[in-house]
Amino acid sequence: MAEARKSMIKFKPKKFKVGDTIKVDFIVIHPMETGTRKDKKTGKVKPAKFIDNITFSLDGKAFTTMKVWETVSTNPYFSVNFKVPGKGKITVDYTDNTGEKNSKSKKLKPKG
């Protein structure tokens, strides 16, 4: 685990039951540098730094994988649907092109 990044997993709606289809939103604070922009102070090109792989998994079983390029906005947001099979833990693992690895988890607590 490299430097800690701020990230967040959100379930929409907040209250759900087993069998409901919910949205899983993942937001991370990341510069998503393209590698073509210049630093206005130094005039040097900023090196590319962007998230390239994201895996959404439930209790270790991946249900959505993504490949992402630098054309995704700064502080990216990704949203997918997901059918709640029961209690569990949603984990999002993500790596960037410089090899930085991070992950974020949130417990699934369906009611009823």
Per CB under 8 A, residues contacting another protein are 21, 23, 34-37, 45, 47-48, 50, 58, 62-74, 76-83, 85
**Residue 29 or 80 with smaller CB distance to another protein:** 80
Closest distance of CB 40 from another protein, Å = 12
Among residues 103, 53, 51, 56, which one has the least CA distance to residue 73?
51
**Residue 47 or 112 with smaller CB distance to another protein:** 47
**Token code pair at residue 35:** 């590698």
**Residue 75 or 105 with smaller CB distance to another protein:** 75
Judge contact between 30 and 51, C-beta under 8 A: yes
SS3 86: coil
Closest distance of CB 19 from another protein, Å = 10
Judge contact between 5 and 50, C-beta under 8 A: no
